[in-house]
Homo-oligomer: A and B are copies of this chain.
Amino acid sequence: MNNELEKLYTRIIQRTTINLRELEFDVKPYVWDLIPPGQMEKFYAFYGITDNHPISFYFKHSGLAGSYFLGKSQVINSLLYKSDIRGDELKKKGDVLQFKNFEIELSKDEEIYIEDSALIKTMVHNYSHDPESLEQFFIKNTVATHYSNIHGAPCDGCFIEPFATVDLTTVHDCVIGAFSYIQAGEINHLKIMPGTIWVRSPDNFDFAYRHPRNRLKKYIDFTAESQPQGIFINFMEERKEAFERIFNAMNLESPEPLPDTSSLDRYAVVDLQTQIGENVLVAQRAFLKNAWLGKGANVQENCFVINSRLEGLNITAHGAKIIEADLGRNVFVGFNSFLQGKANSRLTVGKECVIMPHTIIDINEPLVIPERYVVWGLINDEKDLANNSLPIDDFLAIENKLEKGPMTFEGSGKSFITAFQKRIHHILEVNGAFFDGKDNRGHAQKNQDISFNTIQPYPKGTLKGLYPTISIQP
């Protein structure tokens, strides 16, 4: 890494560490070697222009290698490596947000504001749900690592380990352990252990689970002075080359006649066996190999669908992987879930199941999940499944509390399930799954006319790898 870049990275790490001083957490040994020298100047960055959302980009004194920008965003004094800053669901001027008894109107279009932060292969999406900062979805003094998701979650002073997700949560001065999923409204000064799944709605419900540390390590292991390791990392590495080809061509042809109502991003990898139905959204950095996608299915960023069939109205949330599996209609697969069937031991998921975010199902015998189940945790066989699932109807009946294996649930099961179902409906809606040829247009229909623009860093000199100051306005 050359001088200016190194200085910038040092400064970002230092700022994050200062924010985390209460937790006595030193960021540097974890991340210093994560951005390989030479990589920051090697890849172009790119941004999309559509006529569906306001154009506004501002980049200053930052490295942006391989990163993608779609919505309104500012990036200042930051290093983004192969990260996605989508922002096409940001709130707009005049939108009214209901927060408890308050109706708050936006005074201007929301923007994603990234300052003094380093994001490595991080997905930033959705809109900020912090009523204190409706117009700014901020990410400050934060280091986020491989395949983490920052989803509607403003962060200040955070260290986010690989494959962790912060979702609809404002996060101040926290360490989020590897493969943790946090959806908790607001958290402060916490060190979240790896593999924690925590879904909390204050006064309504609190779902908590932690992946067994010794079994999780096989999938993702992240320690100081070492690259992240494990099955998740290997899985991504093995498919890296397929993406290189598509990032290296200006124009690509669609492999298949695609329905008019569906969109397949030009930065997705798709083979010729794949079949795409109506109202389907395939986002960039998605990977489809012999995938059958029924009407209204979506495959979001960093998702992989391999030798699998999705009947329709399926949500495959950011980072989810579905291999050798058959999913019924309306199955929801949460963020970064890893559903690994095998050719001789396929996974079958019944219709309307909810696979909680960050669930691992990795089987060596065929496994069938019945219809309408909620599934979580780490599942290698029938026994694990029995310990880590519950029929939705049983969940709906919980009034106070339930403990099942390492999972604890407090509050109203109905409130929890209803919140999930509402969200699933909303996700399908914004993605265009319900488009009828006229109404209910969503990303699947709107994303068909994105034009992509590439930007490159200084190729030489002390600023090598950093980008010039770039402003793009309507």
Contacts and interface: CB of A to CB of B under 8 A. Distances in A.
Contacts of A458: 49, 51, 451
A290 interface: no
Contacts of A459: 49-51, 449-451
A168 to B, nearest CB: 31
Interface in A419-474: 449-461, 463-464, 468-474
A249 B252 CA distance: 10
B454 A453 contact: yes
Contacts of A50: 459-460
A50 B457 CA distance: 9
A470 B470 contact: yes
A243 interface: no
A212 to B, nearest CB: 44
Contacts of A456: 49, 451-453
A303 B452 CA distance: 30
Contact of A248 (B247, B250, B457): B250
A307 B336 CA distance: 58
Q: Number of copies of this chain in the oligomer?
A: 2
Contacts of A49: 456-459, 468
Interface in A36-64: 44, 49-51, 55
A470 B58 CA distance: 10
A461 B474 CA distance: 13
Contacts of A453: 44, 453-456
A248 B249 CA distance: 7
A463 B51 contact: yes
A214 interface: no
A251 interface: yes
Contacts of A455: 453
A72 to B, nearest CB: 12
Contacts of A474: 468-469
B51 A454 contact: no
Nearest to A56: B468
Contact of A454 (B250, B463, B470, B473): B250
A20 B451 CA distance: 38
A46 to B, nearest CB: 8
A471 B451 CA distance: 18
Nearest to A251: B248
A472 B461 contact: no
Contacts of A471: 469-473
A409 B458 CA distance: 49
A242 to B, nearest CB: 16
Nearest to A463: B51
A50 B464 CA distance: 10
A251 B456 CA distance: 13
Contacts of A44: 250, 451, 453
Contact of A250 (B247, B450, B463, B472): B247
Nearest to A250: B248
A463 B250 CA distance: 23
Given A248-B250, A250-B454, A468 B460 contact: no
A245 to B, nearest CB: 10
Interface of A: 44, 49-51, 55, 247-251, 449-461, 463-464, 468-474
Given A51-B461, A451-B456, A469-B474, 16 more contacts: A51-B458, A51-B459, A51-B464, A55-B468, A247-B250, A248-B249, A250-B250, A451-B458, A452-B454, A468-B473, A469-B471, A469-B472, A470-B471, A470-B473, A471-B471, A471-B473
16 contacts: A44-B451, A49-B457, A49-B458, A50-B459, A51-B459, A51-B460, A55-B468, A247-B250, A249-B249, A249-B250, A451-B457, A451-B459, A468-B473, A470-B471, A470-B473, A471-B471
